[in-house]
Structures are given as C-alpha cells and as structure tokens.
Amino acid sequence: MIDYIREHWLVYLIGAGVAIALGLSASVVVGIWGTTPSSMHEEEVAVEQERAATSEDTSLNSIDNLKLDEPAAEDTSTDAAVDESSAAQ
C-alpha cells in the first residue's frame, strides 16, 4: 500500500489541492448567499437600538416611581396569631 502511494504521490497531491479549492470556493459561495444585505442589517440595528432605548426609559421611570422613604408594610397577621396563642396558654 505504501509503495502504491509513493508511486502515485502526484495524483494524491493534485486530489488534495482540488479538495481544498472546492472547500474554499463552497465556503465563499455560502458566505455570499447567506450574508444579510447591509440595508437590512442597518434596519435591524436601528430597531434594536430603539427597543433598548425604550426599555431603558421604562426601567428608569419605574425606578423613579419607587418610594424609598416609606418603610415597607409588614404583614402582622402571623404576629397577631402568635400573640393570641400565647395569651391563651
């Protein structure tokens, strides 16, 4: 088998070169056909930036509406039940 490869090494070299060339050309073709057109890409970027700006405004407004000076209302229903059970004993 090795003797056969040594005798026909030029054919193997040409075959490897053709395979590499076909692979590279196929990747170029797929890259060209699969690429998003620049005008469509610019539109998508503009929409994403608009969404991001809108969501940032919304989140900032919700943070501004928080009342940080008022303490949180505590649930005292369990405290009352505990006080009643300890008073009954």
Q: What is the DSSP letter of 65?
A: T
| Higher-confidence position of 10 and 58 | 10
**Does pTM top 0.75 for this prediction?**
no
- Please answer whether residues 16 and 9 qualify as being in contact, where contact means their C-beta atoms are separated by less than 8 angstroms: no
Domain extents in the chain: 1-60
Which residues are within 8 A (CB) of 5 and not within 5 positions of it... i.e. 6 or more apart? 12
Q: For the chain, how far is it from start to end, CA to CA, in angstroms?
A: 98
Report the pLDDT value the prediction gives residue 35, as an integer from 0 to 100. Answer: 85
Q: How far apart are CA 75 and CA 5, in angstroms?
A: 85
**Across residues 9-38, what is the average pLDDT?**
94
**Across residues 1-8, what is the average pLDDT?**
89
Could you tell me the pLDDT band of residue 80, with boundaries at 50, 70 and 90? low
| Higher-confidence position of 49 and 77 | 49
Summarised one tens digit per residue, pLDDT across range 34-76 is 888 888 888 999 999 888 888 766 666 665 555 555 555 555 5
- Please answer whether residues 5 and 12 qualify as being in contact, where contact means their C-beta atoms are separated by less than 8 angstroms: yes
